[in-house]
């Protein structure tokens, strides 16, 4: 009798589809940057511990970190449908109960822990989001104990194999925009066996709490951490307001001058948050003024539907002309592309109306493009070959392949252009941003 297939076992169909899934992910973002992959341990088992901000996309960017298969956990309630449960199992995702499911349900996690230990024993990376749920904010949530229970039990059952918890920070340029940017930073790994040996005089619960604090601290190093309090929106707005000047000032810093793109933006925002914390600790009156300005700027910007990209990036007159020319040149292709992608746009909008959690929007867009666009291409190709000479049908089919990307990029150009014009016309908002910059850089 054949042995029962385990979730971590090699699967040729899974391996084949991984290439397509990874390509689709790369096309879903303008930039995906992985930082610190050299920190990944090579001599043992790994538990990835990423922050959780963007629903299913977090798992996708962790999966695409390298070509190795990885096993994930997801909340147990989505496994209630037998068909969906089989699909999730094929995708190497297994269920885990949460405290909100009730204490009786949480007790069922013993099976998940046993399976997780089996995965780690086979040196297949295991990924669990320690926060337990997601929030679309540049902040963090309290860590749940599931990851530590798995780590301690796994280390106990395989004492001769090093086990590491690897903190990972995921930072999106925008949580909700299709083809935004994402930066993934791998932090310093925690050797669980060494940690337990170093604190062997403590009880297991004490060790768990200490490890939780250590992981929480290391995870926060890898993210843009803005305290999730009443001033979150104000701090976030201030980071955008001063980003351009921070980036310019960084060019004169010997350490930071080499940073580019999402790395530079990440460093600039962290510098601003640190500066705001300094003002908070040393000048309560100035901090209160700064927060009031940040809240007012956020309110005005949202009322006028101005994108943060218009605030962060100041385009020269030449660049605006160049973007307009690009838009005009792309119109002959982009208009048919928009027509071809109407089924995707319509399906996304229909699903969005039934989504309670806004953070799932990018996940929905990704999977619809992943599944629906190939089906549409088959239909469009069949029609083309039916009504056109094969040479023209072939050219048309190839030309149609990037239609979702081109259509979206043209839409993005139009959206940002409209946003730039609104910001230029809003003197009050620009005056607030000027005052924020004055406080940050001169006081």
Q: What is the pLDDT along the chain (443 residues), one digit of tens a residue?
A: 455 788 888 888 999 999 999 999 999 999 999 999 999 998 889 999 999 999 889 999 999 998 888 999 887 777 887 887 888 888 898 887 655 555 555 556 677 788 888 899 889 999 999 998 889 999 999 998 889 988 998 898 888 899 999 999 999 999 999 999 999 999 999 999 999 999 999 998 999 999 999 999 999 999 999 999 999 999 999 999 999 999 988 888 877 888 889 999 999 999 999 999 999 999 999 999 999 999 999 999 999 999 998 998 776 667 777 777 877 888 888 899 999 999 999 999 999 998 888 888 999 999 999 999 999 999 999 999 999 999 999 999 999 999 999 999 888 888 988 998 999 999 999 999 999 999 998 86
Evaluate whether residue 315 is within a structural domain: no
* Domain end call among 192, 221, 250: 221
- Three-state secondary structure of the chain: CCCCCCCCCCCHHHHHHHHHHHHHHHHHCCEEEEECHHHCCCCCEEEEEECCCCCHHHHHHHHCCCCCCCEEEEEHHHHCCHHHHHHHHHCCEEEECCHHHCHHHHCCHHHHHHHHHHHHHCCCCEECCCCCCCCCCCCCCCCCCHHHHHHHHHHHHCCCCCEEEEEEEEEECCCCCCCCEEEEEECCCEEHHHHHHHCCCCCHHHHHHHHHHHHHHHHHHCCCCCCCCCCHHHHHHHHHHHHHHHHHHHCCCCCCCCCCHHHHHHHHHHHHHHHHHHHHHHCHHHHHHHHHHHHHHHHHHHHCCCCHHHHHCCCCHHHHHHHHHHHHHHHHHHHHHHHHCHHHHHHHHHHHCCCCCHHHHHHHHHHHHHHHHHHHHHHHHHHHHHHCCHHHHHHHHHHHCCHHHHHHHHHHHHHHHHHHHHHHHCHHHHHHHHHHHHHHHHC
Evaluate whether residue 255 is within a structural domain: yes
pTM: 0.91
Same domain membership, residue 297 and residue 279: yes
Same domain membership, residue 156 and residue 96: yes
What CATH number is associated with residue 24? Answer: 3.40.1130.10
> Would you state the pLDDT for residue 107?
59
Rounded to whole angstroms, the Cα distance separating 332 from 328 reads 8
Same domain membership, residue 432 and residue 420: no
- Residue among 57, 67, 69 nearest 119 (CA): 69
Same domain membership, residue 197 and residue 55: yes
> What is the token pair recorded at 427?
């003197």
Evaluate whether residue 310 is within a structural domain: no
Same domain membership, residue 204 and residue 150: yes
Q: Are strands 163-172 and 190-191 parallel, antiparallel or unpaired?
A: antiparallel
Evaluate whether residue 96 is within a structural domain: yes
Evaluate whether residue 404 is within a structural domain: yes
Whether residue 306 contacts residue 423, with contact meaning beta carbons closer than 8 Å, is answered with yes
> What is the token pair recorded at 437?
């910059």
Same domain membership, residue 255 and residue 383: no
> Would you state the pLDDT for residue 130?
94
Evaluate whether residue 84 is within a structural domain: yes
Same domain membership, residue 129 and residue 215: yes
> Would you state the pLDDT for residue 277?
95
Evaluate whether residue 4 is within a structural domain: no
Same domain membership, residue 212 and residue 150: yes
Same domain membership, residue 210 and residue 93: yes
Same domain membership, residue 432 and residue 419: no
When divided into structural domains, the chain yields a total of 3
Same domain membership, residue 339 and residue 200: no
Evaluate whether residue 398 is within a structural domain: yes
* Domain end call among 221, 252, 270: 221
* Domain end call among 221, 243, 278: 221
Q: Which domain holds residue 259?
A: 232-304+428-442
Same domain membership, residue 274 and residue 174: no
């Amino acid at each position: 009798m054949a042995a029962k297939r385990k979730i971590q076992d090699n699967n040729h169909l899974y391996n084949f589809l991984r290439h397509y899934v990874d390509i689709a992910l790369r096309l879903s973002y303008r930039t995906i940057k992985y930082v610190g992959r050299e920190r990944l341990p090579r001599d043992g088992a790994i538990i990835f511990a990423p922050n959780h901000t963007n629903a299913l996309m977090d798992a996708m960017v962790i999966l695409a970190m390298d070509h190795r298969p990885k096993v994930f956990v997801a909340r147990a309630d989505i496994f209630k449908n037998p068909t969906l449960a089989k699909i999730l199992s094929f995708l190497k995702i297994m269920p885990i109960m949460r405290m909100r499911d009730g204490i009786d349900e949480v007790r069922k996690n013993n099976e998940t822990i046993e399976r997780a230990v089996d995965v780690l024993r086979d040196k297949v990376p295991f990924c669990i989001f320690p926060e337990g749920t997601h929030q679309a904010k540049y902040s963090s949530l309290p860590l749940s104990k599931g990851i530590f229970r798995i780590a301690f039990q796994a280390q106990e059952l395989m004492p001769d194999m090093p086990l590491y918890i690897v903190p990972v920070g995921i930072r999106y340029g925008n949580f909700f925009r299709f083809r935004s940017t994402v930066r993934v930073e791998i932090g310093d790994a925690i050797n669980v066996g060494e940690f337990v040996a170093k604190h062997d005089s403590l009880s297991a619960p004490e060790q768990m709490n200490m490890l939780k604090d250590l992981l929480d601290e290391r995870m926060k190093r890898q993210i843009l951490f803005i305290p999730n309090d009443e001033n979150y929106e104000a701090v976030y707005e201030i980071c955008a307001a001063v980003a351009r000047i921070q980036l310019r000032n960084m060019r004169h810093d010997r350490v930071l001058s080499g940073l580019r793109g999402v790395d530079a933006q990440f460093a600039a925002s962290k510098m601003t948050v640190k500066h705001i914390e300094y003002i908070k600790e040393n000048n309560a009156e100035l901090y209160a003024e700064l927060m009031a300005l940040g809240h007012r700027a956020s309110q005005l910007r949202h009322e006028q539907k101005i994108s943060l990209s218009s605030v962060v990036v100041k385009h020269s007159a030449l660049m605006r002309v160049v973007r307009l020319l690009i838009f005009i040149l792309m119109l002959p292709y982009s208009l048919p592309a928009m027509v071809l992608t109407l089924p995707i746009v319509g399906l996304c909008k229909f699903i969005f109306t039934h989504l309670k959690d806004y953070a799932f929007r990018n996940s929905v867009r990704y999977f619809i493009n992943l599944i629906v666009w190939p089906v549409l291409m088959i239909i469009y190709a069949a029609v083309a070959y039916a009504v056109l000479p094969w040479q023209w049908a072939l050219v048309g089919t190839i030309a149609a392949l990037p239609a979702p990307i081109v259509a979206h990029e043209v839409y993005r150009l139009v959206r940002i252009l409209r946003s730039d014009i609104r910001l230029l016309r809003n003197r009050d908002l620009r005056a607030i941003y000027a005052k924020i910059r004055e406080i940050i850089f001169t006081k």
